[in-house]
């Protein structure tokens, strides 16, 4: 099929195993007459490659498909950069869990070959945008595929904040913070904090309190189109942070306002035809893999 002719490649830096997979991937694609474009940092790991090099932004403009070699964190970074371009992403797992990067290096060529022949499943995932305001002026902006998290940073003190959903006051809380997660992120940090596992097709956002100073505070699932507003309490003695996928942080101050909404652009993920969300959960989360007789 001609739909994937120009293929971008992004690899996680600092990993010998990633370099091994990059070399294998490069050789396979060139042998099968695909036009390969390396992301500029990735290119530095393959000296003498002789291929076209481009920034992540340019990859989104000139590629038909981008292959990410690394862990879920690598794909999260690529997703934030490429969501606006609507370029499909395919992940090769060189990380630990691999909820998003679901092609194993052991059968890379076989499974990649089928995808490039048109045998694949495509799905879309939404992202979150977060804006921080101070005294009515914009302070910072970030995007997340997994989660936007209010946390105390290096401090061990609790954070006091007010939560509003679609302009309606929900509660004031003192806690270690709040995780605002997409369905994609529900199997990441949100899960560790006691949040529910959400199917990726859901148009919903989950808010998970982190060690709240009350026994009645529980995760809340809201419509994916909701606007989440957090107001940092004026009496806070600590200066908390807001993080995006754990990869970008903005320092906040008492009185700051954080607004979180769904990003207008979704990412496109490519999976092999045998991809199944529940099978992934069984594999990655250690669920029982046999049906026991009653």
The structural domain count of the chain equals 2
What confidence tens digit (pLDDT) does each residue in 137-191 have? 999 999 999 999 999 988 888 999 999 999 999 999 999 999 999 999 999 999 9
pLDDT of residue 14: 86
Neighbours of 102 (CB within 10 A): 24
Residues 115 and 153 in one domain: no
Answer yes or no: is pLDDT of 96 > 90. Answer: no
Radius of gyration of the chain (CA): 21
Residues 39 and 152 in one domain: no
Residues 90 and 152 in one domain: no
* Residue closest to 103 by CA, chosen among 2, 21, 196, 180: 21
**CATH code, domain with 35:** 3.40.50.10330
Residues 84 and 37 in one domain: yes
Query: pTM (2 decimals)?
Result: 0.93
Q: Does any domain span residue 291?
A: no
Residues 258 and 136 in one domain: yes
Which phi and psi (to 5°) does residue 4 adopt? -115, 90
Q: Does any domain span residue 294?
A: no
Q: Does any domain span residue 43?
A: yes
Residue 187 marked ligand-binding: yes
Residues 251 and 202 in one domain: yes
Return the percentage of the chain with pLDDT > 90, whole number. 85
Residue 218 marked ligand-binding: no
Residue 73 marked ligand-binding: yes
Residues 156 and 69 in one domain: no
Answer yes or no: is pLDDT of 294 > 90. Answer: no
* Residue numbers annotated as active site: 72
Structural domain span for residue 77: 6-119+273-285
Answer yes or no: is pLDDT of 58 > 50. Answer: yes
* Residue closest to 147 by CA, chosen among 161, 126, 168: 126
Mean local confidence (pLDDT), 186-214: 96
């Amino acid at each position: 099929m001609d739909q994937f002719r120009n293929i971008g490649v992004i690899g996680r830096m600092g990993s010998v195993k990633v370099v091994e997979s990059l070399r294998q991937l490069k050789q396979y694609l060139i042998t099968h007459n695909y036009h390969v474009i390396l992301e500029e940092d990735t290119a530095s790991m393959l000296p003498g490659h002789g291929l076209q090099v481009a920034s992540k932004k340019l990859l989104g403009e000139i590629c038909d498909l981008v292959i990410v070699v690394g862990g879920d964190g690598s794909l999260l970074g690529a997703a934030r950069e490429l969501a606006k371009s609507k370029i499909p992403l395919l992940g090769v797992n060189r990380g630990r869990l691999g909820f998003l990067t679901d092609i194993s290096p052991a059968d890379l060529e076989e499974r990649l070959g089928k995808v490039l022949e048109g045998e694949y499943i495509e799905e879309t995932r939404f992202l979150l945008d977060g804006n921080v305001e101070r005294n009515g002026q914009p302070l910072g902006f970030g995007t997340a595929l997994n989660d936007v998290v209010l946390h105390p940073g290096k401090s061990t003190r609790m954070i006091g904040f007010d939560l509003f959903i679609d302009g309606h006051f929900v509660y004031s809380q003192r806690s270690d913070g709040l995780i605002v997660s997409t369905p994609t992120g529900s199997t990441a940090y949100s899960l560790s904090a006691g949040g529910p596992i959400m199917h990726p097709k859901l148009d919903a956002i989950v808010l998970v309190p982190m060690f709240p100073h009350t026994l009645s505070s529980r995760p809340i699932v809201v419509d994916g189109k909701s606007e989440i507003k957090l107001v940092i309490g004026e009496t806070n003695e600590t200066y908390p942070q807001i993080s995006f996928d754990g990869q970008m942080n903005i320092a906040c101050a008492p009185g700051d306002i954080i607004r979180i909404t769904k990003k207008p652009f979704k990412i496109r993920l490519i999976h092999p035809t045998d991809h199944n969300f529940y099978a992934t959960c069984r594999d990655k989360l250690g669920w029982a893999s046999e049906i026991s007789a009653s």
